[in-house]
């Protein structure tokens, strides 16, 4: 995980090299609180007790009914889920001992040192911390921030028993200013209480299952801290990151302008005078340096454009320029280095300096001929479904290298990007995607019941996810919803349709530069792209993709677009809009009965795929038939193959769970190159 290695800052896309920080990853004291007595017993004030006795665990029958109800409502699942998959009932009381957990790994996975698969709704973490600030920094008013990459689901934070802040949302970052809570030079006690319901289906959870043993396309749940935790010192008045409003918009490749919106945090009331300056470099060569621009009295942000075109006399031999620009693409992932400085114009004092990057690239999904354009050229999207799980660590990558390695594994097979599925991935992943030239579809983890609680929870977390990643050129499409998960009655419920419409328009307002795939797979309500899912074998898939009528026909019992109703106008495919098959494949290799399957359990439930190949040679043949079947019809401008790697019992990846190839890597690359060639040739006649 980012931050567990020396000098590995967890947000490498937005750094303050001159400011001190320290990782809080590593051992924390840890205790389950199954009966939720910690607050009333003042654990946050007195420290975690040596043990706690549990009298009334979750009821197993209730858990089973929750699972049964929701799996019946989700399309495209196997009919025969494992029976009796329930949280075990306790025989009377039991005692949890205070122990140790390795942050940022969740208690359910072996890497945490806990490895407990039970239902535990309330968790407590504790450790000692010290103020990083020097006496000079304290005198200057610099602040101490406590940062969390992601904590699933509701986190409350205390310093020496004092409440300092809270956050709801399991997939997005938050920070808390603890400057005034950490006093003196001694140690302070940091306490974290986390509530993560295993059965609340209005809570966004993605692929995390709501029963103890993962089954079908759902995996081990992930409760508590699962991304890096760290502290850092920042100036009182400072440059905000993208989550708080700093946006770099590099889509104007014709005009050569970077649209900049710099937001500032910590400005004193009364309109403290502040000015910003931006410096742009390409391969170390100065491209632009703005004059210092003063913020107005009434706004804590300022917007302006920067000319990103490199003058001819500064030509860089290693970079191909177009209109004086180094354009970002999978083939040429050129990045500009951006330094943003904050000054006090009264004293000309440098208050803050951050370093980040940006890419100049344009996206166009409205050409009207079914193409998706990158930098005004047709882009064939050869994407792979990437769900971001690992054998010993679950949703948390074992190291920053693991995130980079997954991109390299996908590119080795000829994919030029991924649909990051049902997960807001660690920022280090996007850092490497920017640098390696890897397209990313950003997606949210869905919930499975629709009500007002879900709406409020999802709106908040989705907006936070988009803001976090908005400055990465690798991100080219937003996908808030997958396969109507959380929307069981889009056919008849206008309220559910309206919420998906609202997600589309909220996202478009925040970011008009990227396409939006509103409800990936079927039952589109308001979308820029026409996407569909089809896990048929190659002959059937080829027939489907041969005609527009076939593509728009019912999928998994659902209409691809929501039809008009008495209370709603419905939606339909817009002629000329890009069409993509965004899930297909999912082929596993047949295995014999093994001892790994539980007694009495069918092997198909534990070594599962949508269809089955007999051996690696057959798998390669099937991959080729499926990929070419999508492309031959001439209607699809891209696809998302399921999937990059096996995950637990779902073994339909191109790589095993531990990232070993199942078939010839170069042969797969040739298939992908052939599909792209066929697509581009088909455009010549249009």
Q: Does residue 88 or residue 409 have the better pLDDT?
A: 409
Pair (224, 246) in one structural domain: no
Position 216 scores a pLDDT of 84
Residue-level pLDDT at 606: 63
The three-state secondary structure class of 242 is helix
Q: What is the pLDDT of residue 60?
A: 45
Q: Please tell me the total count of domains within the chain.
A: 3
pLDDT confidence of 211, banded at 50, 70, 90? Answer: confident
Q: Report pLDDT for 72.
A: 47
> Are residues 277 and 189 located together in one domain of the fold?
no
- Give the per-residue pLDDT at 85: 61
Q: Is residue 5 part of a domain?
A: no
Q: What is the CATH number of the domain that holds 44?
A: 2.60.120.260
Do residues 206 and 167 share a domain? yes
pLDDT in tens, 335-357: 999 999 999 998 999 999 999 99
Task: Kindly state the tokens that stand for 382.
Answer: 């050869």
- What pLDDT does 3 receive? 38
Q: Where are the beta strands (DSSP E) in 215-372?
A: 224-225, 229-234, 238-239, 247-252, 257-265, 275-282, 285-289, 293-294, 301-307, 336-344, 349-358, 363-364
Per the domain annotation, does 408 fall within a domain? yes
411 and 526 part of one domain: yes
For residue 409, pLDDT beyond 60: yes
Residues 218 and 253 in one domain: no
| Domain boundaries, position 660 | 380-591+604-685
Q: What CATH number has the domain bearing residue 453?
A: 3.20.20.80
Q: Determine, yes or no, domain membership for 478.
A: yes
Residue at which a domain ends, from 324, 358, 392: 358
- Are residue 346 and residue 397 in the same domain, yes or no? no
pLDDT of res. 215? 84
Distance CA 106, CA 120 (A): 12
Q: Please indicate, yes or no, whether residues 175 and 251 belong to a single structural domain of this protein.
A: no
Longest Cα–Cα distance in the chain: 80
Tell me how far apart the alpha carbons of residues 402 and 247 are, in angstroms, rounded to a whole number: 28
Residue 183: per-residue pLDDT: 84
Is the confidence at residue 605, as pLDDT, over 80?
A: no
Inter-residue long-range contacts of 374-377, CB under 8 Å, 24+ positions, other chains counted: 374/329, 374/476, 375/253, 375/322, 375/327, 375/329, 376/253
- Mean pLDDT across the stretch 486-493? 95
- 332 with 452, same domain: the answer is no
What are the tens digits of pLDDT across the range 160-210? 999 999 999 999 999 999 999 998 888 999 999 999 998 899 999 999 987
Report d(CA 434, CA 506) in Å as an integer.
25
pLDDT at 604 exceeding the cut of 90: no
Instruction: Give the integer Cα–Cα distance in Å for 538 and 619.
Output: 12
Judge contact between 52 and 58, C-beta under 8 A: no
Residue 249 predicted with pLDDT over 70: yes
Same domain for 652 and 570: yes
Mean pLDDT of the chain: 92
- Residue where a domain terminates, one of 301, 324, 358: 358
DSSP for 549-569 reads: HHHTS-BTTB-SBPPPBTTB-
In DSSP terms, which residues pair with 384 in a beta bridge?
418, 641
In this structure, what token pair is assigned to residue 470?
């908005």
Angle separating helix axes 665-683 and 616-632, nearest 10 degrees = 10
Convert the pLDDT of each residue in 104-160 to its tens digit. Answer: 999 999 999 999 988 899 999 999 999 999 999 999 999 999 999 999 999 999 999
Considering the domain architecture, whether residues 215 and 273 belong to the same structural domain is answered as no
Check whether residue 384 and residue 474 sit in a common domain.
yes
User: What is the CATH classification number for the domain harbouring 307?
Assistant: 2.60.40.10
DSSP class per residue in 140-195: TT-EEEEEES-EESEEEEEETTEEEEEEE-SSS-EEEE-TTTS-SSS-EEEEEEEE
CB-based contacts of 649, cutoff 8 Å, min separation 6:
214, 215, 216, 605, 606, 607, 608
The answer on 45 and 141 residing in a single domain is: yes
């Amino acid at each position: 995980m980012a931050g567990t290695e020396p000098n590995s800052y967890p947000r490498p896309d937005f750094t303050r090299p001159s400011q001190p920080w320290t990782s809080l990853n590593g051992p924390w004291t840890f205790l389950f609180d199954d009966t939720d007595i910690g607050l009333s017993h003042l654990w946050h004030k007195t420290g975690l007790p040596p043990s706690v006795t549990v009298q009334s665990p979750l009821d197993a029958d209730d858990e089973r009914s929750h699972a049964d109800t929701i799996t019946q409502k989700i399309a495209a699942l196997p009919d025969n889920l494992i029976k009796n998959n329930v949280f075990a009932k306790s025989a009377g009381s039991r005692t949890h001992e205070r122990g140790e957990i390795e942050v940022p790994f969740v208690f359910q996975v072996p890497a945490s040192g806990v490895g407990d698969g039970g239902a535990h709704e309330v968790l407590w973490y504790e450790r000692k911390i010290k103020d990083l600030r020097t006496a000079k920094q304290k005198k200057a008013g610099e602040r101490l921030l406590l940062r969390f990459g992601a904590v699933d689901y509701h986190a409350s934070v205390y310093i020496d028993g004092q409440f300092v802040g809270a956050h709801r949302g399991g997939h997005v970052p938050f920070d808390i200013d603890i400057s005034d809570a950490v006093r003196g030079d001694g140690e302070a006690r940091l306490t974290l209480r986390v509530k993560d319901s295993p059965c609340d289906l209005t809570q966004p959870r993605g692929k995390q299952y709501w029963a103890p043993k993962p089954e079908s396309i759902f995996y081990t749940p992930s409760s508590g801290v699962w991304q890096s935790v760290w502290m850092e010192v920042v100036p009182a008045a400072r440059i905000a990151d993208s989550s708080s409003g700093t946006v770099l918009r590099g889509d104007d490749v014709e005009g050569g302008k970077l649209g900049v919106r710099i937001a500032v945090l910590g400005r004193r009331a009364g309109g403290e005078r502040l000015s910003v300056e931006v410096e742009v470099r390409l391969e170390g060569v100065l491209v632009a340096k703005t004059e210092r621009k003063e913020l107005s009295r009434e706004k804590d942000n300022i917007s302006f454009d920067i000319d990103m075109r490199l003058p001819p006399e500064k030509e860089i031999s290693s970079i191909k320029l177009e209109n004086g620009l180094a354009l970002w693409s999978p083939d040429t992932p050129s990045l500009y280095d951006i330094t943003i400085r904050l000054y006090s114009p009264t004293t000309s004092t440098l208050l803050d300096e951050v370093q980040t990057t940006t890419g100049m690239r344009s996206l166009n999904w409205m050409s009207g001929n079914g193409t998706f354009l990158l930098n005004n050229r047709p882009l064939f999207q050869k994407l792979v479904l990437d769900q971001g799980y690992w054998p010993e660590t679950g949703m948390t990558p074992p190291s920053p290298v693991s995130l980079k390695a997954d991109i390299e594994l996908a590119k080795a097979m000829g994919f030029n990007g991924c649909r990051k599925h049902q997960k807001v991935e660690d920022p280090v992943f996007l850092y490497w995607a920017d640098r390696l030239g890897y397209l990313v579809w950003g997606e949210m983890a869905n919930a499975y019941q629709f009500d007002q609680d879900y709406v409020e929870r999802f709106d908040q977390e989705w907006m936070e996810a988009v803001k976090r990643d908005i400055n990465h050129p690798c991100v080219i499409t937003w996908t808030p919803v997958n396969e109507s998960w959380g929307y069981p009655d889009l056919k008849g419920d206008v309220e559910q349709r309206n919420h998906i419409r609202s997600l589309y328009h909220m996202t478009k307002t925040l970011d008009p530069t990227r396409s939006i795939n509103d409800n990936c797979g079927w039952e589109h309500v308001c979308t820029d792209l026409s996407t569909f899912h089809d896990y048929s074998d190659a002959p059937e898939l080829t027939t489907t993709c041969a005609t527009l009528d076939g593509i728009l026909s019912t999928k998994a019992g659902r209409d691809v677009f929501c039809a008009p109703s008495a209370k709603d106008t419905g939606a339909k495919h817009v002629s000329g809009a890009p069409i993509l098959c965004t899930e297909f494949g999912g082929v596993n290799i047949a295995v014999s009965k093994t001892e790994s399957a539980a007694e009495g359990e069918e092997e198909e439930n534990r070594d599962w795929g949508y269809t089955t190949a007999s051996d690696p040679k057959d798998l390669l043949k099937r991959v080729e038939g499926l990929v070419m079947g999508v492309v031959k019809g001439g209607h699809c401008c891209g696809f998302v193959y399921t999937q990059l790697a096996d995950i637990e019992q779902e073994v339909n990846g191109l790589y095993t769970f531990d990232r070993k190839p199942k078939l010839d890597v170069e042969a797969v690359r040739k298939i992908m190159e052939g599909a792209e060639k066929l697509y581009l040739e088909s455009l010549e006649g249009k």
